């Protein structure tokens, strides 16, 4: 599914508002979900309550109060200290750990966090590459991909999970979910199978899920894949489906790898918005109202 012009975007925005209304038919929850959907899809939304909602910046003002966004420092159980991006209202009763791609906690990942913050979640995105090199923020060109793959190889799976646990701990006693993209999609799956901290897990185009598909999840899981993903063949998706009949698996016709990232050539605004809508609805069902 390709990108849309202004008229097409307006139609998608109206459609998303109608769908969000069906998922969350009352007031505040509907409005937060609608804003988040439109924000990540790159669609304009007029704030008819005259409150400023700046989803791309570091300071978010939402109905009901202020929510600061910015970097924090965390310490893992093994003593490792690292950075994380924190967004969302302090009064939030639900939290999300957002897990990066192989490109670090870059501007795209911060926008993802800000969209979930606008939906009312307290969000923490741990900088998992800090164990290899602090402060990594990459783009999406060939050199960035090569560097990201190299950094990923320097960080052990066990260490990454320790950092994810620390990010979960930073969200306190809230009802927690985990969501990840690309490499983070696989890590979100492991958050379900190798941790007891989360009540729901969502993975977007996680390439390593098929290799660990027989692991038992400790919480409900939803997975999103592009039909035309060059790194995740449909045969892998079918293997996951056969191994995990209880997992919700969603495939987007014509979509490629990274279809949810507005900085990639494979970005598809309608598919990204639909996947976000489904992710939000999944968390609403499993984390509580």
Q: Are 29 and 92 in contact (CB under 8 A)?
A: no
Catalytic residue, from 113, 182, 219, 261: name it: 182
Q: How far is CA 52 from CA 46, 221, 254, in A?
A: 10, 34, 36
Catalytic residue flag (residue 182): yes
Catalytic residue, from 24, 94, 257, 286: name it: 257
Q: Are 284 and 175 in contact (CB under 8 A)?
A: no
Sign of the dihedral defined by the CA atoms of residues 169, 118, 33, 244, in that order: negative
Sign of the dihedral defined by the CA atoms of residues 103, 40, 258, 250, in that order: positive
Catalytic residue, from 114, 130, 163, 229: name it: 229
87: β partners: 123
Q: Is 145 exposed, middle or buried (0-12, 13-18, 19+ CB in 10 A)?
A: middle
Q: What angle do CA 243, 223, 275 make, to 5 degrees?
A: 155
Q: Are 201 and 247 in contact (CB under 8 A)?
A: no
* Number of residues in the chain: 289
Residues 6 or more apart whose Cβ sits within 8 Å of residue 247? 217, 221, 222, 223, 240, 241
Dihedral angle of Cα 33, 12, 221, 70, to the nearest 10 degrees? -50
Which residues are known catalytic residues?
Answer: 182, 229, 257
């Amino acid at each position: 599914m390709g990108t849309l012009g202004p008229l097409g975007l307006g139609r998608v925005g109206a459609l998303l508002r109608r769908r969000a209304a069906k998922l969350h038919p009352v007031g505040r929850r509907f409005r937060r979900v609608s804003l988040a959907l439109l924000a990540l899809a790159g669609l304009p939304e007029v704030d008819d309550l005259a409150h400023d909602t700046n989803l791309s910046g570091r300071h978010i003002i939402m109905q009901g109060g202020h929510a600061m966004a910015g970097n924090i420092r965390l310490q893992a159980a093994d003593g490792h200290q690292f950075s994380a991006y924190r967004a969302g209202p302090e009064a939030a009763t639900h939290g999300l750990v957002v897990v990066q791609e192989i490109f670090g906690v870059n501007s795209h990942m911060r926008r993802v966090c800000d969209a979930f913050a606008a939906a009312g979640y307290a969000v923490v995105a741990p900088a998992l590459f800090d164990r290899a090199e602090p402060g990594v923020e990459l783009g999406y060109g060939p050199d960035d991909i090569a560097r990201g793959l190299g950094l990923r190889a320097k960080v052990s799976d066990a260490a990454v999970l320790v950092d994810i646990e620390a990010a979960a701990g930073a969200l306190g006693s809230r009802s927690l979910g985990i969501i990840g993209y690309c490499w983070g999609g696989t890590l979100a799956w492991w958050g379900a199978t190798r941790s007891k901290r989360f009540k729901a897990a969502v993975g977007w185009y996680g390439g390593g899920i098929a290799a660990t598909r027989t692991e038992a999840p400790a919480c409900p899981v939803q997975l999103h894949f592009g039909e035309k993903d060059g790194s995740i063949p449909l045969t892998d998706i079918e293997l996951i489906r056969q191994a995990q009949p209880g997992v919700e698996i969603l495939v987007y016709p014509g979509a490629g790898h990274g279809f949810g990232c507005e900085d990639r050539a494979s970005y598809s605004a309608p598919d990204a918005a639909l996947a976000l809508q489904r992710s939000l609805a999944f968390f609403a069902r499993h984390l509580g109202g």
